[in-house]
Amino acid sequence: MLDSRIKQWIWTANWTELRDAQERAIPLILNGTDDVIIAATTASGKTEAAFFPILTRLGAPSPQEPLAIYLSPLKALINDQWRRLDELTEKMEIEVTPWHGDIGQQRKERFLKEPKGCLLITPESLEALLCRRGHGLAGLLSALAYIVVDELHAFIGTERGKQLQSLMHRIETALGRPVMRIGLSATLGDMNGAAAFLRPDRSRKVSIVDSKSDGHNLKVLIRGYLQSTAGPDTTSVDGVRSSIAADLFKVLRGTSNLVFPNARSEVEYYADSLRNSCEQMGIPNEFWPHHGNLSKEVREDAEEALKKADRPATAICTSTLELGIDIGPVKSVVQVGPPPSVTSLRQRLGRSGRRKGEPMILRGYCIEEESDSPGISELLRENLLTTAAMVRLLADGWYEPIRANKLHASTLVQQILSTISQYGGMNTAKLWNVHCGKGPFSAVTSDQFASLLRELGKREIIFQDSTGLILLAPYGERITEHYSFYAAFASEEEYSIVNGNQTLGSMPITRPLSVDSYLIFAGRRWQVVSVTAEDKVVQVKPAAGGTVPKFNDTMGADTHDRVREEIRNILQSNFPVPFLDIGGQELLTGARANYKHMELDRKWILQNGSEVQIVPWCGDIIKDTLTLMLQVRGKRTVFDGGLSIPVKDASVESVHEILQEIADEPTMDPKQLASKVPNKTFEKWDGLLPDELLCASFASAKLDVEGVQNLLKLRLRSE
């Protein structure tokens, strides 16, 4: 079924068979009647499963050469796929055009003059293309046959994901026909939800190729550490981190690995510490930092080190190496602190055990705090138990389901302005139809849409002329012409960190930074030479001292209900958790004893002095919603990231009575509850939304009133 040149390439590459995902996906894509999702483990040949049939179609004789668009969340992935396809596409004489900020304008202009072959692009660059090409889009993409979305799971439920859905729909609207969509992912737990994301209007069937069989064993070791707020050096914050760094050096040295701390500042700490250990031993460095604030050159140093098979290399990284950048196989994956989610843990683990017969190896390091007045999360060792619960759920094949009902009204603002810019103007009915009537924002009502247009008009971003056409006002034109407009998400204003002529990367300056002060960046220590506020540049030079910068980030996600249920399951049972080390076992034993002592097997509302602790055993969204509902009823409580909800100046009886009222009353409108939240603007364009739509958007993403009532009925009934 494949082009003879592809078959020749397969033969030359000494493949003896196709992978399962390839066998199943190739006929579906060649048939062309359905959209396709290919879900398979890392290094299972998903790219070839999609591109072998696409290139077969592109390489066939045709009056107009078909075009394929490959959408990636990362520029680095585009560069990878470009190199990966280069040999095959050159043999088949198919043009491949990578398109992002680092690609020269000449190559882009060549594509615009003769759009054919494969266009590899990010959503932001595609947004810019649609904005700037306007009415010429239908001609430019007239031969478009395929849209391939790589790392599909990375888009689902995000602002970029909503933008991506809108871009695909706008392209099909301009062409007046559907285009085959192909999604690729290594981690998808909810296949129906993924299909609904890829084709929201369900106008075409989505066929799913779910190839889960990888034949790998999983080896896990989680180490537990107790960190005292007033203990000797070995149990202080720095003492525990030093112990972890020492163990990492001992077990990882001489092999290639990925280490995932939960913040960029932690990446810098461990990269610096491990590099210093190499220098003290007089051996070549084996440890490299990798995160989004580092320059492309610094990140590529880490990637190239990992690709070299002749020397060991370990990257201390964020989710930048969680996605499918080709770095070759690694021996193990290290997680410092609880993983952001089970889905994320599975994606990271897919990097190890890629050679036949090798196991996947996960090493975990969990730090628990011990203070004079510990809270429930400390007593129950939440960090350790969260990690253990996620490992157990991973082994059972469970991943977080997709929360598909988010409005993302912030992204609707961007898409309205982008569409007006694309066409030079549009009447209200067409604008509504493109985005809400038949588009991905179908949950937005006509009244909400009209209210949004009025708000944008009131702010002099758009205006309506005498013919009824919606146009960009001068302020709106300035917004759409700025380079930052094309991203659906907000980013912090940052300073460039420069050593001589080399830009090391960028970082937000969250504390005063003066000449001669020290910092750690790109895994090295620097002294500040100068700070230029106008240009936002910090000049540095190598130094012996340094402190870890603060990036204001914690790479977490909303913990799901199922994870908290599994934590409770571990605590109230006596079954062994064999992948914990001695320190972890001791922490687990203590947590189980505390669970029994607090009688949490039969109680979920506890009196602690003048404070009441509610332990609902639910995920963060339901927990935060319940906290807000208590605040609305006059209770003094705070949003706490732990296992419990503290209620100040209360009794068990009074709290119990209020919880019963919440469970029994008619379901409150989530928008009404959201109106009580003072800080609802958390997406890029939220500040431009009318209040009612802002409340609806916030409620869709952050609140679950029905979930609260169902939980309370269950807990109250179980009493």
- Residues 241-252 have a mean pLDDT of 96
> Could you give the number of structural domains in the chain?
5
CATH number of the domain bearing residue 60? 3.40.50.300
Residue 43 pLDDT > 90, yes or no? no
* 499 and 480 within one domain: no
Instruction: Count other C-beta atoms under 10 Å from residue 236's C-beta.
Output: 15
Q: Is residue 580 part of a domain?
A: no
* 505 and 474 within one domain: no
pLDDT interval class at 552 (50, 70, 90): low
The better pLDDT of the pair 52, 100 is held by: 52
Identify the helix (H) or strand (E) that includes residue 714. helix 705-718
* 454 and 434 within one domain: yes
pLDDT interval class at 673 (50, 70, 90): very high
Residue 361 pLDDT > 80, yes or no? yes
Which of 14-23, 162-171, 534-543, 627-636 tops mean pLDDT? 162-171
Residue 699 pLDDT > 90, yes or no? yes
Residue 293 pLDDT > 70, yes or no? yes
Q: Is residue 65 part of a domain?
A: yes
Q: Is residue 639 part of a domain?
A: yes
pLDDT value at residue 511: 55
Summarised one tens digit per residue, pLDDT across range 482-523 is: 989 999 987 766 788 999 989 998 877 655 566 777 888 888
Summarised one tens digit per residue, pLDDT across range 130-166 is: 998 877 888 999 999 999 999 998 899 899 999 999 9
CATH number of the domain bearing residue 457? 1.10.10.10
* 462 and 345 within one domain: no
Q: Is residue 620 part of a domain?
A: yes
Q: Give me the helices (H) in 59-118, please.
A: 75-92, 105-113
Q: Which long-range contacts (CB under 8 A, 24 or more apart) does 75-82 make?
A: 75/100, 75/101, 75/102, 75/122, 75/296, 76/299, 76/303, 76/320, 76/325, 77/150, 77/151, 77/323, 77/324, 77/325, 78/120, 78/121, 78/122, 80/324, 80/325, 80/326, 81/47, 81/120, 81/150, 82/120
Q: Is residue 387 part of a domain?
A: yes
pLDDT-wise least confident of 2-6, 105-109, 564-568: 105-109
* 67 and 173 within one domain: yes
Domain stop point among 506, 524, 542: 542
* 358 and 264 within one domain: yes
Give the span between the Cα atoms of 513 and 251, in whole angstroms: 36
pLDDT interval class at 231 (50, 70, 90): low
* 510 and 417 within one domain: no
Domain stop point among 328, 363, 395: 395
* 164 and 19 within one domain: yes
Q: Is residue 557 part of a domain?
A: no
Residue 33 pLDDT > 80, yes or no? yes
Domain stop point among 211, 240, 275: 211
pLDDT interval class at 626 (50, 70, 90): very high
pLDDT interval class at 549 (50, 70, 90): low
Residue 555 pLDDT > 80, yes or no? no
Q: pLDDT averaged over the chain?
A: 90
* 302 and 381 within one domain: yes
* 322 and 262 within one domain: yes
Q: What's the domain range around 670?
A: 602-718
Q: Is residue 566 part of a domain?
A: no
pLDDT interval class at 572 (50, 70, 90): very high
pLDDT value at residue 645: 94
* 134 and 171 within one domain: yes
- Report which residue type is found at 280: Q
Summarised one tens digit per residue, pLDDT across range 366-397 is: 999 888 888 999 999 999 999 999 999 999 98
Q: Is residue 675 part of a domain?
A: yes
pLDDT value at residue 191: 87
* 61 and 207 within one domain: yes
Q: Where are the beta strands (DSSP E) in 352-420?
A: 360-370
